[in-house]
Each structure stands twice: as C-alpha cells, then as structure tokens.
C-alpha cells in the first residue's frame, strides 16, 4: 500500500478498514468480488480539479468522463460537486437522464454514434455533441432537421497526432487512430465545420482532442495546447471561424504500482492553465471556455476491489492464490497488461512474504489478476484487496463463464451503502428466452 495515496486505509487488529468500514465485516454482508469506493476521496479529487482548473482569462470546465465508472449515484455525486459529464453511448445518456442530471451540461462523445443515439441526444436535451468525422457531421445534420425546435452545441474532434508514452491500446492520437480527423486534413476539417454551420439548430463551438490515457509527463499536454491553438489561429485568420471552446480531453495518470509517477492534480491543472494562458496571449485568441475531461484520475485511486482467496495451488514454478473473480470483473490485465498492487486484508506490513501470482477463476490462461507479487503467506478464506481498481474495472465487467456481475458500495464515515447491487443468477439469465 502506498500510504500517501490511500490515506483512508487503516490496517490493524487483524483487519483492514477503508473510511472506517471493516472489510472483514463488509465481506460478511456483501458477496465478493466487491467494488468499494471511498466517497470522501471521490469528492476530494473532484474539488482538486474544480478548485485549481481556473483562470481569470476563461472558464475552466471539468467534465467527468463517465465511461471510467458510471452509475446513477456517481453521476449525482458529480453534479452535486460542480462537474459536467460526458457520455459515449445511449446507455450512458439514458443513465444520466434517469439520474436526473442536467442534460444541457452533458457532452456526447464517440467515434460511431448511431442514428438512434443521435435522436435520443436531441430528445433528452444533450447540450454538446463531439463530432468525430465529416461523415458523422453529415448524418448529424440530417437528423438535426428532424428536431427543428432543439439546438445543440458541436465540437469537432481533431487528431493532433501526438504519440503519448503509454500502452498502444490507450493511445488515441496516433496517425492511424480511429478517433477524430487528422489535424493535417484541413479541407476535411473545414468541410465538417461548414456542414455543422449549415444546420440552423447546430452551433459550431470549437475543437476537441484527446491524446491518450495514463500520461504522466506535462510535455504532451503542452504540445497539445500549442498545436491546437495554432489550428485555431489558422481557422480564424484564413477562414473567419472562431472557436469559443477548446476541449483538451483527459488522460491524466494515476498510481497503480511503484513504477507510476503521477503528478498531483493541482500541478496538472496549473500546467494546462498556464500553457493556455500563454498561448492565448501570444496568438491573440479569446476562447471563453477551456475544458478537460478527467475520468480515470477521479475514480481510480478512490476505488478498490475485494476478493476472497478460494484456493492456493503450488505449481511447478509458481504459487497461485486463486480468487473468486478474475477477468469477468477485472479484465484490464488481460486486455492490455495492466499491473495492479494488492494486500491481504489485516496482514501487518512485517508479515512473512512470498512471491505469488493472483489467478482468476475464468477458463482462460490469460486470466491473471496480478503476476509475481510479494504477499504474506495466505490461507483459503483470506481476503485480498486490490488498489486503484476504481477506473474501468466495474465498467468493463462481464458475464464470461456465466459469472454474475459484482456489486458496488460507497463507504463513508464508517458506514457503507450499495450503489449497484450484485447481480444474482436469476438477474443474469432474466433476458434469456426458452
């Protein structure tokens, strides 16, 4: 455990507590695997963004990327604490609608929005849509004509072709990325803008970009600001097009293990604000809004995954601690080699340790939760706590091998509550037909 990151985790008296909640007692009341979120930590991180992403020169807008972890309770917490939100599917839009979110503050992303999704965006009053291609802008303009009494702000996603130093599966600004319009395809970008402007109820508001995820250094973001503001100058000076909003996306890194060196949220905000202020002044630009879209960095370190060790197996080389979940509830290690850290619940730091591999229960060789981690000697029935599990864990959970989806709880001030109940076996097969 990294104490300065997980300061609400307390180990002692043979137990581990998060925000005052005993994990051993929690496991008696809630089936494992179980996702646990520290509600105060979520709020603290939200305010680290909203308090520091500010400038006297423009409105600093913090938009939570809900795909990182999306449920009604989480969205309501975001709205209560001053965050905008984005969605990438009809399901996410519908969840926000049912949660009572102010839809005029919602951003709708995605590289392949369907006709049904676009229509629902108009019907639910989504405020801003990010167009990903010329082809999509043409489809959107046709659909917009069906809703003459509804208006929508439009950002156009450009690909600045900045290759951030992260795993290839979470890079989003490489030359062959499926996202956005390459920044050097100026004619294509211009035609997309003109298509939007041709629809009376669509308002072109500015540019959007996103360069990847789990980025630690500041240089990629500074370059993103420089490249996009140069583009804004070109649009203004050569074509008379003004951008009122610059959306820089997200991708801010978090701690998963000791190889990770994320900057504090406050420093990330200051870096981006400073880069924008300098670029705007130097290039005589006056956007009224600058937007960032943190997702992972709001929820990852606030979230934990609790397992029970159900079998210990001595193989030829490895010792396996098998848990009662795996790639059905935490697919990121199998999907793109994500590396997590973990501890046994209630074990002191000086307990004898051994090198083990945490294996899942799914019938796949790749179903490894953590490979080669030093942990105390365990026995069946011990609990394993995985750190920084709050982003994309529950969001990517699935029913592979007919494993039910896990539950999710929020913990705060010694109490807990379900925000997503665990899926029962009957829930899992409820949609199946005889």
What kind of fold does domain 9-30+303-429 have according to CATH? Lyase, Ornithine Decarboxylase; Chain A, domain 1 (2.40.37)
pLDDT computed for residue 4 by the predictor: 72
Residue 108: helix, strand or coil by DSSP? strand
Q: Which helix (H) or strand (E) holds 322?
A: strand 319-323
Question: Residue 12 forms beta bridges with which residues?
Answer: 15
Same fold, 9-30+303-429 and 39-299: no
**pTM (two decimals):** 0.94
Question: How would you write the pLDDT of the chain (434 residues) with one tens digit per residue?
Answer: 576 789 899 999 899 999 999 999 999 999 999 999 999 999 999 999 999 999 999 999 999 999 999 999 999 999 999 999 999 999 999 999 999 999 999 999 999 999 999 999 999 999 999 999 999 999 999 999 999 999 999 999 999 876 654 444 444 445 567 879 999 999 999 999 999 999 999 999 999 999 988 999 888 899 999 999 999 999 999 999 999 999 999 999 999 999 999 999 999 999 999 999 999 999 999 999 999 999 999 999 999 999 999 999 998 888 999 999 999 999 999 998 999 999 999 998 889 999 999 999 999 999 999 999 999 999 999 999 999 999 999 999 999 999 999 999 999 999 999 999 999 999 999 999 99
- Are the beta carbons of 120 and 94 closer than 8 angstroms? yes
**Backbone angles phi and psi of 403, in degrees to 5:** -90, 125
What is residue 386's DSSP assignment? E
CA distance 46 to 28: 31
- The set of residues, in sequence order, having a beta carbon less than 8 Å from that of 376 and lying 6+ positions away, is 344, 347, 351, 352, 353, 354
- The set of residues, in sequence order, having a beta carbon less than 8 Å from that of 37 and lying 6+ positions away, is 69, 74, 299, 302, 303, 304, 390, 408, 409, 410, 411, 419
- Are the beta carbons of 226 and 279 closer than 8 angstroms? yes
Annotated active-site positions, please?
363
Residue 281: helix, strand or coil by DSSP? helix
CA distance 344 to 362: 21
- Domain layout of the chain by residue ranges: 9-30+303-429, 39-299
Burial class of residue 432 in the structure, from the number of CB atoms within 10 Å of its CB (0-12 exposed, 13-18 middle, 19+ buried)? exposed
Q: Which helix (H) or strand (E) holds 165?
A: none
Q: Is 167 left (phi over 0), alpha (psi -120 to 50) or beta?
A: beta
For 136-255, where are the E strands, in sequence order?
152-159, 181-182, 202-208, 245-247
Q: Into which CATH architecture does domain 39-299 fall?
A: Alpha-Beta Barrel (3.20)
pLDDT computed for residue 173 by the predictor: 45
Give the relative orientation of helices 39-52 and 265-283 as an angle to the nearest 10 degrees: 20
Task: Label the pairing between strands 303-314 and 319-323.
Answer: antiparallel
CA distance 348 to 268: 34
């Amino acid at each position: 455990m990294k104490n300065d990151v997980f300061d609400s985790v307390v180990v002692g008296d043979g137990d581990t507590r998060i925000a005052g909640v005993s994990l051993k007692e929690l496991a008696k009341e809630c089936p494992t695997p179980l996702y646990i979120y520290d509600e105060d930590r979520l709020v603290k991180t939200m305010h680290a963004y909203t308090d520091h992403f500010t400038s006297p020169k423009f409105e600093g807008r913090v938009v939570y990327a809900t795909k990182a972890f999306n449920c009604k309770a989480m969205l309501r917490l975001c709205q209560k604490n001053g965050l905008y939100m984005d969605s990438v599917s009809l399901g996410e839009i519908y969840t926000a609608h049912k949660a009572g979110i102010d839809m005029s503050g919602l951003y709708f992303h995605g590289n392949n929005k369907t006709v049904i999704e676009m229509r629902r965006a108009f019907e639910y009053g989504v405020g801003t849509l990010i167009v990903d291609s010329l082809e999509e802008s043409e489809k959107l303009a046709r659909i917009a004509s069906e809703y003459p009494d509804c208006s929508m702000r439009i950002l156009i996603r450009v690909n600045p072709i900045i290759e951030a130093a992260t795993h290839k599966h979470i890079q989003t600004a490489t030359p062959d990325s499926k996202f956005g319009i390459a920044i050097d395809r100026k004619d294509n970008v211009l035609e997309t803008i003109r298509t939007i402007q041709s629809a009376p109820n669509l308002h072109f508001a500015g540019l959007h970009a996103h360069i990847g995820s789990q980025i630690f250094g500041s240089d990629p973001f500074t370059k993103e600001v420089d490249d996009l503001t140069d583009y804004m100058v070109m649009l203004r000076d050569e074509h008379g097009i003004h951008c009122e909003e610059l959306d820089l996306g997200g991708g801010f890194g978090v701690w998963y293990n000791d190889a990770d060196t994320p900057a504090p949220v406050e420093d990330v905000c200051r870096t981006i604000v400073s880069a924008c202020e300098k670029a705007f002044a130097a290039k005589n630009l006056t956007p009224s809004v600058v937007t960032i879209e943190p997702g992972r960095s709001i929820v990852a370190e606030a979230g934990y995954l609790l397992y029970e060790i159900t079998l210990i197996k001595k193989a030829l080389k490895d010792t396996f601690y098998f848990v009662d979940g795996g790639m059905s509830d935490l697919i990121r290690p199998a999907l793109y080699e994500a590396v997590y850290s973990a501890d046994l619940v209630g074990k002191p730091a000086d307990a004898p340790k051994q090198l083990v591999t945490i294996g899942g229960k799914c019938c796949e060789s790749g179903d490894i939760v953590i490979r080669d981690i030093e942990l105390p000697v365990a026995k069946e029935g011990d609990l394993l706590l995985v750190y920084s599990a709050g982003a994309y864990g529950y969001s990517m959970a699935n029913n592979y091998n007919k494993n039910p989806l896990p539950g999710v709880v929020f913990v705060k001030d010694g109490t807990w509550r379900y925000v997503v109940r665990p899926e029962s076996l009957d829930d899992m097969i409820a949609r199946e037909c005889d």
